[in-house]
């Protein structure tokens, strides 16, 4: 059908509009493409010229700076130091052996070290940098940098390595870091890419390990342009790493140093707690070791010496060591009996040196007996027979319940490795673990802290702090993280009647301050600093009937590993308890002779804030005390080494 002129005119008008729209779109697109081509060919010409020469962009991780660890007064316990090292990336070099040989020519490197590095290079993925040498001098690092064109794949780097300025004093609190191993990744399941950074260090022991997430920080990244030989041409951009959090501990470096020094020559553990809030002021285990050796790579000789030492320096005796608490357990038995109402504190028992149970005798440490004693005298003179009688009246279930209430037989929650739980045994425990029924003899043994009963120095310190205050004191070792305090609030009441605790306090005062008290030799000659406590001696072997008949061999005449453990727990000052202490000396002999003097000195140091003056000691002891302090490796003033900061961020200073 023939279209009318009017339709043709309308059709031409529509086609014209469409043509204009299409033409506009074409011109706009052409303009955008022209602008983009100009940008790529003119403004980015240099960039693409480099890429055309087989350059490529690499993304590299930036290790975060590990958080610092300080004591309660801002003394640096764990810091970071610069470490010059050389790394090699296998995929950036055609001949690993040739590069290593050239590197050995430039820098004097140990052959064995190079062989280990080569094995690690071949074992790792080709894109992962592997450290060939570390702890180089600036001159050595500069030599490598100057010869970089002849060393494809080799990168001189400046990193950070952990350092412990106070060395051995804090190995059993702060712990140490070590390189990431396949075993570590397998055990922890940690998939953080930062672990692939050469020689990246992670916490392996104590606070360093238990607070790894806070201390590690977060890795950064940088984009770098490298040429075909793997040489870095320039850095394009960077996302900075986030440093780990600074951690402030409750430990007092000066007191910790004194306690470690006072334990010199012993195999021992000691804990000092603040009775007000449970802050641990010192936690020592002797002998100790230098954690810097583990950071820098411990030698086989050093490792063997540590492992074969009979005093076990690697073990943290303060938290991991479990010992029969001996007579330090008698306050628990007394409180259980008082609560049960099975006796009156004024009731006297006649100690003739032993108690007979069936055809067996349970002996008192005083072979001729103590005569008639009441509760206070039984504790102050440590009469075993009194507590044999008391335990039979109250029973093991009540004794163990009181032990748990006072913090024994519990695993206290601290950021330390391998905290032992201890044991406050019950009838059910023996049936479940030994397949035997509980017998009365087990109760008698438990009444003097022997038999199945086990406690650590940490638990004994907690027990003492709770006895001194009547409150549920919980131990803590972290004071703040990045300046934010970690407080536990006001401790709750133990629920033990004040009159019962008063009896225990008076008895513990007499231990140190009455002439017949077992620790009278460790008294203090100033009422403002008086110590109250309890001695303990725990057997590590049974004395046979034949030995008793022939005359028991003196403890010091036995081989060291068969001697008794020496224990002491105490608090000071007596009128207003502030510090609680526990000391356990492995195979040290008598608690009164060995552990009590150490604990007395520690409590005086905590109260005075310095080496105790001689006038606080009995006159007859002052010359020996002066000589002892002269020989101890005590720091005159804890150093303040440099770190990222001179003290915890936003953390104040608090002298104890």
Active-site positions read 327
- Give pLDDT tens digits for 440-488: 999 999 999 999 999 999 999 999 999 999 999 999 999 999 999 987 7
Question: For position 12, what pLDDT does the model report?
Answer: 67
Distance in angstroms (rounded) separating the CA atoms of residues 136 and 107: 9
Which pLDDT belongs to residue 652? 34
CA neighbor of 246 nearest in space, from 446, 75, 378 = 75
Q: Please give the model's pTM, rounded to 2 decimal places.
A: 0.83
**553: number of Cβ within 10 Å:** 11
Render pLDDT for 70-89 as a digit per residue (tens, 0 to 9): 999 999 999 998 877 788 88
Statement: residue 45 has pLDDT above 80: no
- Express each pLDDT in 368-422 by its tens digit: 999 999 999 999 999 999 999 999 999 999 999 999 999 999 999 999 999 999 9
pLDDT over 80 at 198, yes or no: no
From the list 600, 593, 598, the residue with the least C-alpha distance to 579 is 600
- List helix spans (H) across 381-525: 384-394, 396-405, 427-434, 440-447, 457-469, 498-513
For 572-624, how does the pLDDT look when each residue is reduced to its tens digit (9 = 90+)?
Answer: 999 999 999 999 999 999 999 999 999 999 999 999 999 999 999 999 999 99
| Residue in the structure block whose two tokens are 């003739």 | 352
**Residue 546 banded pLDDT, cuts 50, 70, 90:** low
How many helices (H) and strands (E) are present in the chain, helices listed first? 22, 21
pLDDT bin (cut points 50, 70, 90) of residue 53 is very low
The SS3 assignment for 223 reads strand
Residue 239, Cβ neighbours under 10 Å: how many? Answer: 13
| Confidence check: pLDDT of 54 > 70 | no
**Start-to-end Cα distance in the chain:** 111
pLDDT of residue 239: 82
**In the predicted model, is pLDDT for residue 105 greater than 50?**
yes
- Residues 332-345 have pLDDT tens digits of 999 999 999 999 99
Dmax over Cα atoms in the chain, in whole Å?
A: 143
Predicted pLDDT of residue 38: 75
Cα 634 to the chain's mean position, in Å? 22
2-42 per-position pLDDT tens digit: 566 666 666 667 676 777 777 777 777 877 787 777 776 66
A 10 A CB-CB count for 421 gives 15
Q: Which residues contact 563 (CB under 8 A, 6 or more apart)?
A: 540, 555, 556, 587, 588, 589
Contact status, residue 156 vs residue 145, Cβ threshold 8 Å: yes
Determine the pLDDT at residue 332.
98
**How large is the angle between the packed helices 457-469 and 498-513, nearest 10 degrees?**
120
CATH of domain 315-577+587-602+610-617: 3.40.710.10
Q: Please report which residue ranges of 211-315 form alpha helices under DSSP H.
A: 212-216, 253-262, 292-296, 300-308
Give SS3 for 478: strand
d(CA 149, CA 154): 9
Q: Which of 44-58, 146-160, 230-244, 465-479 has the lowest mean pLDDT?
A: 44-58
| Confidence label for 237 from pLDDT (cuts 50, 70 and 90) | confident
Is the torsion defined by CA of 429, 430, 432, 437 positive or negative? Answer: negative
């Amino acid at each position: 059908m023939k279209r009318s002129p009017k339709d043709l005119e309308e059709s031409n008008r529509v086609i014209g509009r469409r043509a204009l729209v299409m033409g506009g779109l074409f011109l706009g697109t052409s303009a955008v493409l022209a602008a983009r081509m100009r940008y790529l060919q003119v403004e980015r010409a240099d960039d693409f010229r480099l890429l055309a020469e087989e350059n490529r962009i690499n993304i590299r991780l930036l290790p975060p700076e590990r958080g610092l660890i300080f004591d309660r007064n801002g003394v640096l316990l764990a810091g970071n130091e610069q470490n010059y090292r050389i790394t090699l990336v296998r995929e950036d070099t055609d001949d690993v052996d040739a590069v290593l040989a050239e590197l050995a020519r430039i820098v004097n490197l140990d052959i064995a070290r190079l062989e280990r590095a080569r094995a690690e290079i071949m074992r790792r993925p080709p894109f992962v940098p592997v450290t060939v040498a570390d702890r180089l001098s600036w001159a050595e690092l500069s030599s490598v940098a100057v010869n970089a064109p002849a060393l494809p794949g080799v990168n001189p780097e400046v990193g950070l390595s952990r350092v412990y300025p106070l060395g051995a004093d804090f190995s059993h609190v702060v712990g140490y870091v070590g390189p990431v191993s396949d075993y570590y990744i397998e055990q922890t399941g940690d998939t953080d890419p930062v672990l692939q950074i050469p020689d990246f260090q992670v916490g392996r022991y104590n606070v360093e390990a238990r607070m790894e997430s806070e201390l590690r920080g977060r890795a950064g990244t940088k984009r770098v342009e490298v040429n075909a030989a793997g040489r870095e041409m320039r850095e394009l951009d960077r996302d900075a790493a986030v440093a780990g959090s600074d951690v402030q501990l409750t430990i007092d470096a000066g007191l910790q140093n004194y306690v470690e020094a006072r334990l010199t020559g012993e195999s021992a553990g000691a804990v000092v707690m603040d009775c007000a809030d449970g802050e641990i002021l010192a936690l020592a285990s002797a002998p100790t070791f230098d954690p810097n050796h583990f950071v820098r790579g411990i030698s086989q000789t050093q490792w063997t010496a540590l492992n074969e030492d009979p005093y076990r320096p690697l073990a943290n005796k303060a938290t991991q060591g479990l010992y029969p608490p001996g007579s330090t357990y008698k306050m628990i038995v007394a409180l259980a009996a008082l609560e049960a109402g099975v006796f009156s504190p004024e009731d006297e028992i006649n100690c003739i040196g032993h108690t007979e149970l069936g055809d067996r005798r349970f002996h008192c440490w005083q072979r001729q007996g103590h005569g008639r004693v009441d509760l206070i005298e039984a504790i102050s003179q440590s009469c075993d027979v009194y507590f044999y009688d008391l335990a039979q009246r109250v029973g093991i279930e009540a004794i163990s319940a009181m032990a748990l209430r006072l913090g024994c037989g519990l695993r206290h929650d601290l950021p330390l490795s391998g905290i032992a739980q201890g044991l406050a045994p019950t009838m059910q425990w023996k049936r479940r673990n030994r397949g035997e029924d509980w017998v009365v003899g087990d109760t008698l043994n438990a009444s003097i802290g022997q038999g199945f009963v086990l406690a650590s120095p940490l638990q004994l310190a907690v027990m003492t702090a709770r006895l001194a205050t009547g409150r549920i004191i919980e131990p803590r070792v972290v004071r703040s993280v990045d300046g934010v305090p970690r407080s536990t609030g006001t401790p709750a009441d133990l629920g033990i009647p004040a009159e019962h605790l008063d009896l225990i306090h008076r008895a513990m005062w007499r231990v140190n301050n009455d002439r017949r008290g077992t620790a009278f030799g460790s008294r203090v000659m100033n009422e403002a600093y008086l110590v109250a406590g309890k001695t303990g001696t725990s057997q590590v072997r049974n004395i046979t009937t034949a030995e008793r008949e022939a005359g028991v061999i003196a403890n010091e005449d036995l081989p060291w590993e068969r001697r008794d453990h020496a224990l002491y727990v105490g608090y000071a000052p007596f009128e207003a308890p502030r510090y609680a202490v526990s000391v356990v000396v492995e195979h040290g002999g008598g608690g009164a002779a060995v552990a009590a003097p150490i604990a007395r000195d520690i409590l005086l140091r905590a109260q005075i804030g310095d080496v105790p003056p001689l006038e606080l000691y009995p006159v007859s002891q002052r010359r020996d005390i002066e000589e002892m302090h002269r020989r101890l490796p005590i720091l005159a003033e804890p150093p303040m080494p440099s770190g990222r900061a001179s003290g915890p961020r936003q953390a104040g200073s608090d002298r104890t």
